[in-house]
Amino acid sequence: MSRFFSTLLAIACLAPILVQFGCSVPSPMPGDAERGRYLIEIMGCNDCHTPGYMEKGGYIPEEDWLVGDTLGYRNDRGTVYPTNLRLLLNRMSEDEWISMARRMRKQTPMMWVMLPKVREIDLRAIYRFVTFLGPKGDPAPAPLPPNVEPTTRYINFGNPH
Ligand code: HEC
């Protein structure tokens, strides 16, 4: 009998968790978008472009990925904020995305060294994942010049010595 009740209790406690993580019906994602999801995850784009991703050990639902962040990256050149990629990619064409990734602006805290080396087929998969998710969130704050103290949280990104 007590076994019966503890089982019941376990089900009652687990149900909300199962509903949130296990039982939701996944919407069908095309194969290349699925690969884009994997690439985004292993390339570490969420680390900066998804709020709280690092703090929560990566447990952020994917519908909230890549919406940009108000956590600034500050160095001698000023403070910049991780771009909202959900808005950016969803308003450009796939080919515009390829050429942007090929010619990343240099000398920002962004991984501008990595993106131009990513194979075109992978950049396209990334684009298809981000457009599958669709636009979400607000634009990241505008960059600040060096002499302006950010009113947001920020990381001292440092300068090479
Ligand atoms: C170390 C933190 C960090 C990581 C990791 C990171 N980004 Fe960024 N990203 C930024 C910041 C900060 C900016 C804003 C840079 C600026 O305004 O100068 C940015 C800007 C961008 C932009 C806009 C560039 C432009 O010229 O406007 C793109 C596109 C981008 N990131 C894509 C990515 C992708 C794809 C990944 C994964 C491969 C990634 N980022 C990983 C911090 C990061």
Question: What is the chain's pLDDT, residue by residue, as a tens digit (161 residues)?
Answer: 567 666 666 656 665 555 555 555 666 888 999 999 999 999 999 999 999 999 898 899 999 999 999 999 999 999 999 999 999 999 999 999 999 999 888 777 777 888 989 999 999 999 999 999 999 999 999 999 999 999 999 999 877 66
Q: Ligand 1 centre from 31 Cα, in Å? A: 25
Q: Ligand 1 centre from 132 Cα, in Å? A: 20
**Whose CA is closest to 34, among 137, 134, 130?**
130
N-to-C CA span, the chain: 69
Q: How many other C-beta atoms lie within 10 A of the C-beta of residue 66?
A: 27
Q: Ligand 1 centre from 110 Cα, in Å? A: 4
Residues 6+ apart with CB under 8 A from 49: 65, 66, 67, 68, 69, 82, 83, 84, 85
Probe target for ligand 1 pocket from 45, 70, 83, with the most ligand atoms within 8 Å of CB? 83
Residue 112 CA to residue 124 CA, distance in Å, equals 17
**Whose CA is closest to 153, among 93, 81, 96, 100?**
81
C-alpha distances in angstroms, 59 versus 45, 46, 52, 69, 80?
14, 11, 9, 16, 25
Residue 89 CA to residue 75 CA, distance in Å, equals 27
Q: What is the pLDDT of residue 28?
A: 83
